[in-house]
Structure 1
Amino acid sequence: MRTDAAAGPSAPAGASWPGLLAAIALVWALSACFTFIPWWHAHGLYLRDAVRLDGQWWRLATAMWVHLDAHHWLADMLAATGVLAISARVARARSLLLVLVACGIAVQVVLLRVPAIAWYGGLSGALHGLALWGALGLLRAPGLARATGVLLCLGVLAKVWVEQSWLAPVVFSPAWGFGVVRAAHAAGAVAGLLCWVLQEWWLARRPARSDGAAA
């Protein structure tokens, strides 16, 4: 029987620089294709009626990559670069991309339940989820990384609370020139939290399974 079992689940290893750069490049390239190539843009944007009535379910996975203009795209890409770089302290590139995509799809599934949102595009909802997931992971890291996790966690939660998307899921922004879907931000944050809980459950099961096999 093993006597050296870990006291708790171990944190995932951080991403290597090549892996992180590859993940960032992939996000930028994929978003650029769906934003600036007209056919990709038209068939990637979330359109509520197209999904519900015409069965175009792939839009639930592609809408996160579509942006409405160059400024929208650039803002999301800079935010994605920052969130990926911060979260890479505690996760590998593959995990970062997996959580990002999972949160993006979760956002679109939630928006299907909001009739007021007829169309949507953008990465901000998924980024709220990745940011919260990464921040919770950083809480185990020592020193400055832990402080970064606390600040990022508080920042995401405060932003979701101030936006109060449950009262107004969409708010027109004169600065952007289109409606900001605040409901996507809240849905993404919840999805990120659920991803973290699922990860913790999985990591907690691994030592137990190993102990049972070695007993």
Structure 2
Amino acid sequence: MSGASRSWLLVCAVHGVASMLLWWAGADMVGVMTWHADGWQQQPWTLWTSAWVHMNTPHLIGNQLALGVLTAFAWVIRPSGRCTLAWLLVWPLTQASMAWWPQIGYAVGLAGLLHAGAMVLAVQLVLKRIAVRKGTRWGGLLMLGLIVKLALERGWSYPVVWDPGNNMSVVQAAHLSGAGWGLLMGWLICGRLWPLRPAPSVATG
């Protein structure tokens, strides 16, 4: 596995470990790490750290499972270092975009970043940046699935909805923002700003 591929997996590991550490942290620490619409300018680090804060056990487990799926997918397709860079740039942008919706007082959790990461990987596959059999088809299906999910959620009109099953509010706007920034940055950094050339072959044994 290349160093570029390891960089994506390292980011996944950071998200997983940091989420667990904050879950075990005290309420004061969690409060300092949470993004609030009316005060994040005084706590700019929350553009990053709020992704690691989770409301309850189902919220944490759900996002950790989704992160595991994204990590396993990346292990198979081996994204480039440019894709890791795109995902890192999307990280604070996804959180900052929550300020566009006045209904959102605070936002936490990895869901927005997971949507962003999935979209970045989909773009890489569609643009044939890696040698994966039927990669364009799989990337297109992944992108279509994300688009359908976002269309059903209608996060632009319903940025926050109540999830009675998990007894918490779901910030659907974060899903929309993450996927949107993932598409843009994935295209710019993995595509437009990267001269088109054939992807290297991946040896299989």
Please give the TM-score of this superposition, normalised by the length of structure 1. Answer: 0.78
- What SS class does the counterpart of residue 112 from structure 1 fall into? helix
User: Once structures 1 and 2 are overlaid, which stretch shifts more, 156-165 or 63-72?
Assistant: 63-72
Contact 1:107 1:184 in 2 (8 A): yes
CA RMSD, 1 decimal: 2.5
Which residue of 37, 47, 53 corresponds with 2:36? 47
Which residue of 15, 18, 22 corresponds with 1:30? 18
Supply the distance in 1 between the matched residues of 2:4 and 2:53 (Cα, whole angstroms): 28
1:187 alignment partner AA: S
1:61 alignment partner AA: W
Following superposition of structure 1 onto structure 2, how do residues 4-19 of structure 1 map, counting pairs within 5 Å? 15=5
Offset, 1:22: 4.2
- Report the identity percentage: 27
Deviations 1:2-57, CA, capped at 9 Å, x for gaps: xxxxxxxxxx99625xx6654443221111122321243121111112225xx111
Provide structure 1 residue ranges, at least 5 long, that are not aligned to the other structure: 1-11, 207-215
The alignment covers a number of residue pairs equal to 190
**Alignment of 1:148 onto 2:138:** yes
Offset, 1:153: 0.9
The corresponding residue for 1:114 is 101
**Alignment of 1:66 onto 2:66:** no
1:178 alignment partner AA: M
Supply the distance in 2 between the matched residues of 1:190 and 1:43 (Cα, whole angstroms): 27
2:20 alignment partner AA: A
- What SS class does the counterpart of residue 161 from structure 2 fall into? strand
- In structure 2, relative to structure 1, the CA distance for the partners of 1:95 and 1:203 (3 Å cut) is closer
- In structure 2, relative to structure 1, the CA distance for the partners of 1:22 and 1:161 (3 Å cut) is same
User: Once structures 1 and 2 are overlaid, which stretch shifts more, 140-149 or 24-33?
Assistant: 140-149
Larger Rg: 1
Offset, 1:101: 3.5
Supply the distance in 1 between the matched residues of 2:177 and 2:72 (Cα, whole angstroms): 22
The corresponding residue for 2:182 is 192
Provide structure 2 residue ranges, at least 5 long, that are not aligned to the other structure: 198-205
